[in-house]
Chains A and B, each alone.
Chain A
Amino acid sequence: MKFIETLINGLSMGSTYAMISLGYTMVYGIAKMLNFAHGDIIMVGGYTIFITMSLSGNPILGLLAAVIFCVALGVTIEKIAYKPLRGASPLAVLITAIGVSYLLQSTAQIIFGSAPKMVNIANLGNVKFAGLNIPLYTLITLGCSMVIMIVLSLFVKYTKTGRAMIAVSEDKGAAQLMGINVNGIIMITFAIGSALAAFAGLFMLMKSPSLTNTLGAMPGIKAFTAAVIGGIGSIPGAMVGGLLIGVVEAVSLTIPVIAPYTDAIEFLILIVILLVRPTGILGKKRREKV
């Protein structure tokens, strides 16, 4: 029973990671850049929820405001910071992304201070059935994430915009020749990634109400790890990688001897998987184009 509880908790944590991973992997796949400021969008979402909740007390309204604000912010960052660097060296883009990350964290610190804010989303309590005792928020997180991931997968597979995303990720030039507006597709990708980050912000605050300006830093790095483990650029890969990291983390935290080394274990898994499969679990080997 205890193990099943741990597993569900792990899948719930993992689905939060997957939400974040998807942002990394889609932006990487389509804009071919590592958006290291992605984790900080979660933090901005967190503060948006904090403000909305202190005004209205309604978590749904908080989520809505966070989604809208994060999408606007993500798209603006792309337009101002990354778009002018299209065609520049990947290193320049990477450094810019790190700069944006610090900018977001510092701005939040100036506005909200360094002391943690407490955001009590709602007292949801626990669910008891079949001998299991599970906090309701884990089930909400798991359920919402699964629905979002299914919708996203269907969107990419069956809509015109989704197909255009696949085309752009494979060959930007050929995609343009099909009449696809590549800049528009990149903007939509940033919007989707930022919306998912807002959801992740809510899930994290449901789990632990303490909000600081580095809320997104560590989960961001772990979700990036998850994206690489799953195969960066691959949407199912980000989901699998996120869930894997979450379960490993949950299991590791229940074993007292290794619990303090949980983070190290997760990065060790990354190293082992990259040694065995350099492209990640679901990453494809791309044929080099001449």
Chain B
Amino acid sequence: MALLEVKDLSVYYGVIQALKGISFEVNEGEIVTLIGANGAGKTTTMQSVIGLIPSRSGSVIYDGHDITKTPCHKIVHLGMSQVPEGRRVFQELTVYENLVMGAYTKKRDAAFKEDIEKIYTRFPRLAERKNQIAGTLSGGEQQMLAMGRALMSKPKLLMLDEPSMGLSPLLVDKVFEIIKDINRDGTTILLVEQNAGKSLAISDRAYVLETGSIVLSGTGDELAASDEVKKAYLGG
């Protein structure tokens, strides 16, 4: 069953059409990736789906709700969560306070304490640094924090926008491993990546986005094997 169903979504920045009526879906339990070059519209798609930027036409159905015109904060309450491009952790708050912000939609009860312990178990580095100001963390640690923060709302669908950007190769592997882990624990994943090789390897299905349109789709393996993808995104 499709958890997220995007149909003919069009987004404009002024007169420039950034998304030209794209359609895709994410089924419950899947990892789905959108790959594409810089400026293809990946981040626009992510922000439009979660209601940060308005769409001009098309529809977004999530978990049975039509959320096309729903403002972002209400969509988050429906159980969708996003790790934005560039992490955007709250620089002046501590690691712990950032995680508390992530649980904004939840009550601060016993379950909250349990959730935060789960995050610390998944990301031991965050436990070590829980009282450190987030702005002083390294890029990798900030990525972990952004992921932990997004998980604090216990989303059904977790969207990650370029989680591997700017990280060392070792950390990139770690991030993809964690994404797989999160998925195995029952969270559906929509991923946007420039690192096509690594993301296709963990994806059930994927879409290729080119200048605002979806030009290819298939399973992760199919796309990884396709000549066009190889040529354009896998360097050979």
Residue A176 contacts which of B72, B92, B93, B135 (CB distance < 8 angstroms)? B72
Binding stretch for chain B, among A66-74, A76-84, A179-187, A196-204: A179-187
Contacts of A290 in B (CB 8 A): 86
Q: CA of A152 to CA of B104 in the docked complex: distance in angstroms?
A: 20
Number of B residues whose C-beta is below 8 Å from A? 28
Q: Which of A138-179 contact B (CB under 8 A)?
A: 160, 163-164, 166-167, 170-171, 173-179
* Contacting pair B88 A173 (CB below 8 A): yes
B44 beta carbon closer than 8 Å to chain A: no
Most chain A beta carbons < 10 A, residue from B90, B91, B93: B90
Binding stretch for chain A, among B33-41, B77-85, B185-193, B194-202: B77-85
CB nearest neighbor in B for A290: B86
Q: Which of B178-227 contact A (CB under 8 A)?
A: none
Most chain A beta carbons < 10 A, residue from B73, B81, B97: B73
Most chain B beta carbons < 10 A, residue from A170, A178, A180, A182: A178
Contacts of A170 in B (CB 8 A): 90-93
* Contacting pair A173 B104 (CB below 8 A): no
B167 beta carbon closer than 8 Å to chain A: no
* Contacting pair A179 B84 (CB below 8 A): no
| B151 CB → nearest A CB, Å | 12
Q: Which of B154-182 contact A (CB under 8 A)?
A: none
Known: A164-B104, A174-B84. A182 touches B92 (CB 8 A): no
- Interchain pairs with CB closer than 8 A, number: 66
Residue B73 contacts which of A166, A179, A284 (CB distance < 8 angstroms)? A179
B52 beta carbon closer than 8 Å to chain A: yes
CB nearest neighbor in A for B77: A179
A2 beta carbon closer than 8 Å to chain B: no
A128 beta carbon closer than 8 Å to chain B: no
A260-290 CB contact bits vs B (8 Å, 1 = yes)?
0000000000000000000000001001011
Most chain B beta carbons < 10 A, residue from A174, A177, A289: A177
Most chain A beta carbons < 10 A, residue from B90, B101, B153: B101
B137 beta carbon closer than 8 Å to chain A: no
Contacts of A173 in B (CB 8 A): 52, 84, 88
Contacts of B82 in A (CB 8 A): 177
Q: Which of B8-41 contact A (CB under 8 A)?
A: none
Contacts of A174 in B (CB 8 A): 84, 88-90
Known: A166-B92, A178-B102. A289 touches B86 (CB 8 A): yes
Q: CA of A171 to CA of B149 in the docked complex: distance in angstroms?
A: 15
Q: CA of A160 to CA of B51 in the docked complex: distance in angstroms?
A: 23
Contacts of A176 in B (CB 8 A): 51-52, 71-73, 76
* Contacting pair A178 B84 (CB below 8 A): no
* Contacting pair B101 A178 (CB below 8 A): yes
CB nearest neighbor in B for A160: B104
Known: A173-B52, A290-B86. A179 touches B104 (CB 8 A): yes
Q: CA of A170 to CA of B104 in the docked complex: distance in angstroms?
A: 16
* Contacting pair B84 A180 (CB below 8 A): no
Known: A171-B90, A284-B92. A180 touches B135 (CB 8 A): no
B100 beta carbon closer than 8 Å to chain A: yes
* Contacting pair A180 B73 (CB below 8 A): yes
Q: CA of A166 to CA of B101 in the docked complex: distance in angstroms?
A: 10
Contacts of B150 in A (CB 8 A): 177
* Contacting pair B73 A181 (CB below 8 A): yes
Q: CA of A284 to CA of B88 in the docked complex: distance in angstroms?
A: 18
| B114 CB → nearest A CB, Å | 19
Q: CA of A160 to CA of B149 in the docked complex: distance in angstroms?
A: 16
CB nearest neighbor in B for A185: B73
Contacts of B132 in A (CB 8 A): none
Q: CA of A177 to CA of B77 in the docked complex: distance in angstroms?
A: 10
| Residues of chain A at the chain B interface (Cβ within 8 Å) | 160, 163-164, 166-167, 170-171, 173-182, 284, 287, 289-290
Q: 3 closest A-B pairs (Cβ-Cβ)?
A: A179-B76, A179-B105, A176-B72
| Residues of chain B at the chain A interface (Cβ within 8 Å) | 50-52, 71-73, 76-77, 81-82, 84, 86, 88-93, 97, 100-102, 104-105, 135, 149-150, 153
- A164-B104, A167-B101, A174-B89 are known contacts; what are 4 more A-B pairs with Cβ within 8 Å? A176-B71, A177-B50, A177-B52, A178-B149
- What are 13 A-B contacts defined by CB distance under 8 Å? A163-B101, A166-B92, A171-B88, A176-B71, A177-B72, A177-B81, A177-B84, A178-B104, A179-B73, A180-B104, A287-B91, A287-B135, A290-B86
